[in-house]
Structure formats: C-alpha cells, structure tokens
Amino acid sequence: MSAEAIDPPSPKGGWSQSVREYERARVVPPQELDGRILYTGVFDSEGALLPMAATWRRDELITYAPSLPAEAEAQLAGKWLWGGVLYHHFGHFQMQSIARLWAVRKYRDEIEGIVFVTRGQAELLPFARDYLRLLIGDVPVRVVSAVTDIEALVVPGQGFGLGKIASGTRVFRRYVAAEFARDVAAEGPRDLFISRSLQPVDKGGFLGEELLDARMEEAGYTVFWPEEHGLEEQIARYKAAQRVVALDGSALHLFAMVARAEQKAAVILRRERVASRSLRRHMAAFMGAKPLTINALSEGAEVSLGKKRAISALDFEMIGRLLKRHGFIKRGVAWGPLTEAELDLISAGESA
C-alpha cells in the first residue's frame, strides 16, 4: 500500500478526504468471504491494487486484496466514481456505503454514475434507493457483480465509517449538511422517543421494551417506531424534534445526519459503552454537541445476540433521574424503579 493509505481513515484529513483519478481501472467484486472480510478491490491499468479503494472498519481493513483476473468480464465506458462496498443492512449501509459520496459535489457533472460492489444481491434495496436519492439526487448507481474494466475511475477517500472516522472528515460533514434531505421539511412533535420495541429481541433488544415506551409517553414524549415510516417521514420527525431520547441503534445514526446543535439528545445504552462509541462520535460531530449518555445496564446484562434479556436489566430509576437532571423530562413526572405490576408483565413475557 502507498504511505497515504496504510493507516485507518482519519477525521482530521489526509487520504480520507483526498481524491485520485485513474485512467482504466479493473473492479473485482467479492471473490470469497471470511466472516466480515471481503476479498474485493480495484486495480489500476498496471495491475497494482489501489489502497484508497479499500474499506476500513474501525482500525482494520475489511476488504482484502483478491487475485487479479487476467481478463475482464464487462466494460464500463466513461468516468465513474468509486462508492465502495454496498451493504444491505441499514446501519452498515449508512455508516460504510456512503463514505465516499462527498466527492459527488465536485464530480457530479463529469461522471456517468457511482460504482459499488456487494456481497449479496446486486440490486439496491428500497431504503438504499431512497437514501441515495436524498444524498446524491439523480446520479445513477451501478452495482458491479462481474470483473469490470472502467474507462476512468474517481476514487475518493473514505470520509466516514466506524471507529474514529465516525466523526466524519470536515468535507464529508459539510457535504451531508448541505445536501442530505435538504428538501425535507421539519414536521412532528417537540419531544420524540425513538422506540426499538418492535425490533426482534434476538437483534439486541429487551423483553418488555414497551414498558419504557409507556414511561416516555407518560412523560410527554411521542413514541416513534421508525420501521413503520418511510425515510422522509423519519427525517421530518428528527428535524422537528427539540428533545430526542432513544436506546442506541441505527435510527440515531439517521438522526445525527440531520441534527442541529440546539437539539438535545439522550442515548440510553443497550450495549456496553465501547459498542456504541462510533454512534456517540457520529452524533457529537454532526450535531456539534455531545448527547447525554445514560449507562443504566446492570452488571452482567451486556447484549448477546440471540439471547433474550428483560428490560429489567436497565435501572429505570437511574434513567428517570438523569433525564430529569438534564432537562429531558419535568422533575414532577412520577418515575421510579419498575413497579411490581411492570415486573409481572415482564415475567409473563419471559414465560410466553
């Protein structure tokens, strides 16, 4: 690798906010998988791997050099912009698949479109199509599933992602602030609780999460389930809210994309602090203000995918106390530990 791209992408700049242009490049889609590792990459006309085209997750590369096929299976004429790996999970898509699209501002009128590779189906899912429309407008997107030679390729640095780069480079943040969902008007309640209670428990949730929904509703918040609404409606709600409370999760990454410093946000951790570090970095950098972080997990209650946990793993009294102290709910709101009736509801759910 070149000296410019041997280190993880940095929000301070360097290769993460630079651009390289290549005449003739060969894109090799994933040849094999090894957990989260993909053997995929881009080669120049001399057969050298392009390090800036690799994808990083925190401090590790997650795209490894594939073997270079002797011949291409397809051709793309004109100039294209490298998008990287297209992920089909909303959270991974948002944190990793859009990381290079900040360069669209400069190259919009020069390129034929964006080129991605993917580990799964070569079609954009509806959420990804909607998200990209809000971010890059009508710029065409091509998902490459065969070894492809491209006449000219623009390779921007990875300006966003998981790890320290979750803060985003300055040029990435500026692009998002100027372009993302700019025509979506704010509409919705002042106080919003983003709920995960409709998510499967085996995806890191809690049995009895609806009890937290009920507490927040009694405190004056509108309970909002993102999966029941389209992307633009979610964004409209996030733009309108003055106070936002949520368990940590993908919805807060979307909120961060449109958040403002005058908004107040509180994150109730459902995982240990390290797991949510990228989310909190993302929120702080894009909002311009740190969210309130509430770690009310009892010892031994850390998330294990596929394992059911009850909402009683959270210290409800602590949650209420901190929300009151920091101005998220009124001090007069009745909010103590879980009641016997609430605990009975949890027990009934565990035995169901």
Q: Give residue 352's pLDDT.
A: 56
In this structure, the answer to whether residues 317 and 227 fall within a common structural domain is: yes
6 domain-assigned? no
Q: Give residue 31's pLDDT.
A: 87
In this structure, the answer to whether residues 256 and 162 fall within a common structural domain is: no
208 domain-assigned? yes
In the predicted model, residues of the chain with pLDDT beneath 70 are 1-4, 299-308, 350-352
In this structure, the answer to whether residues 254 and 342 fall within a common structural domain is: yes
C-beta separation of 78 from 66 below 8 A: no
Distance CA(38)–CA(55), nearest Å, equals: 9
| Tokens found for residue 264 | 């107040």
Q: Give residue 82's pLDDT.
A: 99
Distance CA(64)–CA(73), nearest Å, equals: 21
Q: Give residue 301's pLDDT.
A: 56
In this structure, the answer to whether residues 170 and 204 fall within a common structural domain is: no
In this structure, the answer to whether residues 35 and 105 fall within a common structural domain is: yes
In this structure, the answer to whether residues 122 and 201 fall within a common structural domain is: no
**Beta bridge mates, 10:** 13
1 domain-assigned? no
End of a domain among 130, 152, 179? 179
302 is in which domain, residue-wise?
191-351
**Domain containing 319 — which CATH number?**
3.40.50
**What domain count does the chain have?**
2
Distance CA(33)–CA(31), nearest Å, equals: 7
Q: Which long-range contacts (CB under 8 A, 24 or more apart) does 118-124 make?
A: 118/29, 118/30, 118/85, 118/86, 118/87, 118/88, 118/143, 118/145, 119/30, 119/33, 119/38, 119/85, 119/87, 120/88, 121/88, 124/86
In this structure, the answer to whether residues 157 and 221 fall within a common structural domain is: no
How many CB atoms are located within 10 Å of the residue 175 CB?
23
**Beta bridge mates, 64:** 39
End of a domain among 120, 150, 179? 179
